[in-house]
Amino acid sequence: MKDSLDAAEGRTNWRRFAVAAGVPAVVAGALVFGVASGALAASFSVSGTQFKLSADRLEGQGFTQYSGVLDTADPSKKIPAAMSGIKSAKIYNLCQTVAVGPVVLRIEAGKDSDRPVEAQDLLIGMSELSGDATFTDINIGQDASTLNQDGAASHGAAGGFGQGAKSVTITDLHQKAYSTSASTFKLSGMSLKLHIGDGTECF
């Protein structure tokens, strides 16, 4: 199996993504997903700059995973990514940072356990993920084109690897991502700050 995206077939190296995810062994092979033509995140070009996100806990209803690539402004440049679709999510103690040289933009929200961050139709494109994950009613190895748990109109190509679950809970969440999109994203108690120097990223 090749270690790079096969442009002709549009396939991603699952073993490489599973190792990068760093999730406990039983879950690691499962936490590999992507974006395909027609999915929400495919409606815009990503910059290619990654950002970090951490949370004490994410609780999601309607969960899908499937493989694909992200578009950039350069049509010849495609970014292999892992994507996760969640119909509705609650995120507790969220931190998000992006570093550009010595400048770090840090956003925090959902610190009050009674007022978590809330998102609808959430789709996250990432390269790394770690945490302790629990799924309910999970289908592993489902044909990506038949996924419907998150309510999105389309997912991966027919015959592509995918999986879906009724719900997912991830604690001690850490991820590096390229994109996030949602129909609604409510940041309760949000704070945004610019920092200069080290020590201000989420992890």
pLDDT tens-digit series, residues 14-68: 343 333 333 333 333 333 333 333 333 345 789 999 999 999 999 999 999 887 7
Residues 142-147: contacts with CB within 8 Å, 24+ apart?
A: 144/36, 144/66, 144/67, 147/64, 147/66, 147/85
Comparing 46-55, 65-74, 121-130, which segment has the lowest mean pLDDT?
65-74
Q: How confident is the model at residue 82 (pLDDT cuts 50, 70, 90)?
A: confident
User: How far is Cα 86 from Cα 164, in angstroms, rounded to an integer?
Assistant: 10
C-alpha distances in angstroms, 100 versus 10, 24, 27, 58?
A: 30, 31, 32, 27
Of 42, 17, 11, 51, the closest CA to residue 31 belongs to 17
Three-state SS at 136: strand
Q: Yes or no: say if 142 and 17 are a contact pair by the CB < 8 Å rule.
A: no
The answer to whether the predicted template modeling score (pTM) of the entire model surpasses 0.85 is: no
For the chain, the average pLDDT equals 81
Q: How confident is the model at residue 126 (pLDDT cuts 50, 70, 90)?
A: confident
pLDDT at 184: 96
User: How far is Cα 201 from Cα 186, in angstroms, rounded to an integer?
Assistant: 22
Q: Domain limits of the chain?
A: 14-196
User: How far is Cα 126 from Cα 150, in angstroms, rounded to an integer?
Assistant: 18
Which of the pair, 4 or 84, is modelled with greater confidence?
84
| Residue in this structure with the two tokens 């770090």, named with its chain if needed | 104
